[in-house]
Amino acid sequence: MDKSLEFCEEPAQVFSYLFASKVNNSMIGVNSEKLDPPTCIAVVKEIVLDGHNLFVLLSPFDTSGQILNCTLLRLSDIQGVLPFTSKFINPFLKKIEGTDSWLQQLYFSMFPDESNPT
């Protein structure tokens, strides 16, 4: 069964996926003309209702560490979304939290009695 990835464009389902991204801290592909490039994979930080407008606040950077040019979008600005189940991991922290990171090496040099997995 070959099922290609397609962006969801139906507004109620788009909102549902955006809400799930916020609640679960899961990655979501977002397609909007306000973004440059128009598609990114990020995480929803907040969803805010202001009067009759629903706003979505994305993380300031995507999964690759690229800074987003626009993080606050109206729901109507979003043409489609592609949900993922994987948790969003800060790409900057991922580099310092690995098992061979300088931060972990510093910790084990300060506390040599702790079990060192490396």
As a residue count, the chain comes to 118
| Spans of all domains in the chain | 11-87, 90-118
* Span 48-58, pLDDT tens digits: 999 999 999 99
Check residue 1 and give its pLDDT.
Answer: 43
Q: Which has more pLDDT, 58 or 118?
A: 58
Sheet strands (E) in 1-118: 26-32, 39-42, 44-50, 53-58, 72-74, 78-87
* Span 6-50, pLDDT tens digits: 899 999 999 999 999 999 999 999 999 999 999 999 999 999 999
Positive or negative, the CA dihedral 35, 91, 82, 17 is: negative
Q: Which has more pLDDT, 99 or 25?
A: 25
CB 104 within 8 A of CB 98: yes
In angstroms, the CA 107 to CA 101 distance is: 10
In angstroms, the CA 37 to CA 117 distance is: 40
- The topology under which CATH files domain 11-87 is SH3 type barrels. (2.30.30)
